[in-house]
Amino acid sequence: LFGEGKMFLPQVVKSARVMKQAVAYLEPFIEASKEQGKTNGKMVIATVKGDVHDIGKNIVGVVLQCNNYEIVDLGVMVPAEKILRTAKEVNADLIGLSGLITPSLDEMVNVAKEMERQGFTIPLLIGGATTSKAHTAVKIEQNYSGPTVYVQNASRTVGVVAALLSDTQRDDFVARTRKEYETVRIQHGRKKPRTPPVTLEAARDNDFAFDWQAYTPPVAHRLGVQEVEASIETLRNYIDWTPFFMTWSLAGKYPRILEDEVVGVEAQRLFKDANDMLDKLSAEKTLNPRGVVGLFPANRVGDDIEIYRDETRTHV
């Protein structure tokens, strides 16, 4: 439903919370059933280093557990060495990586390289909002000789895992996936950049032109590093709510989004939840916003910017 635009991210999060509570109730029964018989396989899952998002990962874990797979969930911000060490310790059948932000993509490549270096052969599953079949095929799969599979959403995980662990389906599934990814790489290689790159010399010839002699820059009242404090009530007046709604996958500009025909109702609920949280934090003083700002003299030197300790500009 989320992929089809019929459900919004705040609803997904609330649903995940409810599901987590329901699964917590069912866990004793799931564990009891495991003791009575053999599981279908064991999988280590983790949100990679640098990323704290785990909604999708948690859903995948629950879905697989309900299908009699043993899940070792390492949580979020997990470095490659911990993922691989755990996989060895528990004798995992598969490893699943999740990530929501763009830097996660590079970390997934790093994990794949480490798996290859350490001689792993078990399947590697890739999932998360920023991941894609193209990135998996072009950037990740080529760094690991074992099966590497992009899983588009949680609903497809069980089928993929079952195929990878099946004695009769595995070879055919892996071969078809590799052939598909090879096609993706060929198509990607044929793409031409929309704008040809500019040479360094051309960029320097087209540098910023400005009459600095006719310009007097403003002088800061105080230079150097300063600590600042501000109340939540002060800061909330400067919140840009449009990116906030975008983060929750609700498209539209504030305040018009609150009256939007498609997402307006959910935007109003989310806006109320956010302000209720700010009210609570302010009233209970459980959060004391603080920051550090540094203002320094600076000057361009060729392609570089030099930052000085003070206005004497003698110490860079």
The 10s digit of each residue's pLDDT in 253-304 is 999 999 999 999 999 999 999 999 999 999 999 999 999 999 999 988 888 9
pLDDT of residue 34: 63
d(CA 126, CA 113): 14
Give CA separation, 172 vs 122, 133, 231, in Å. Answer: 16, 19, 60
Q: What is the CATH number of domain 220-307?
A: 1.10.288.10
Catalytic residue among 51, 54, 73, 93: 51
Q: Which of 15, 53, 249, 260 is catalytic?
A: 53
51 is catalytic: yes
Q: Whole-structure pTM over 0.95, yes or no?
A: no
pLDDT surpassing 70 at residue 176: yes
Name 163's Cβ contacts closer than 8 Å, sequence gap at least 6: 169, 170, 173
The fold of 36-188 is Rossmann fold (3.40.50)
Reply yes or no on whether the pLDDT at 221 is more than 70: yes
User: How far is the C-alpha of 154 from the C-alpha of 200, rounded, in Å?
Assistant: 45
Q: In whole angstroms, what separates CA 212 from the centre of its chain?
A: 43
Could you give the residue range(s) of every CATH 3.40.50.280 domain in the chain? Answer: 36-188
Q: What b/e sequence results for 72-99 when a residue is b if at least 16 CB atoms lie within 10 Å of its CB, and e otherwise?
A: bbbebebbbeebbebbeeeebbbbbbbb
Could you say which of 54, 93, 98, 104 is catalytic?
104
User: Which pairing describes strands 290-295 and 224-229: parallel, antiparallel, or unpaired?
Assistant: antiparallel
Provide the residue type at 288 as one letter: N
Residue 109 and residue 148 in contact, taking contact as beta carbons nearer than 8 Å: no
**Mean pLDDT score across all residues of the chain:** 91
Q: Where in the chain is the domain with CATH 1.10.288.10?
A: 220-307
Residues 6+ apart with CB under 8 A from 242: 252, 253, 254, 257
Give dist(CA 171, CA 177) in Å, integer: 10
Mean pLDDT of 54-77: 89
Q: What is the pLDDT of residues 66-95, one digit of tens each?
A: 888 999 999 999 999 999 999 999 999 999
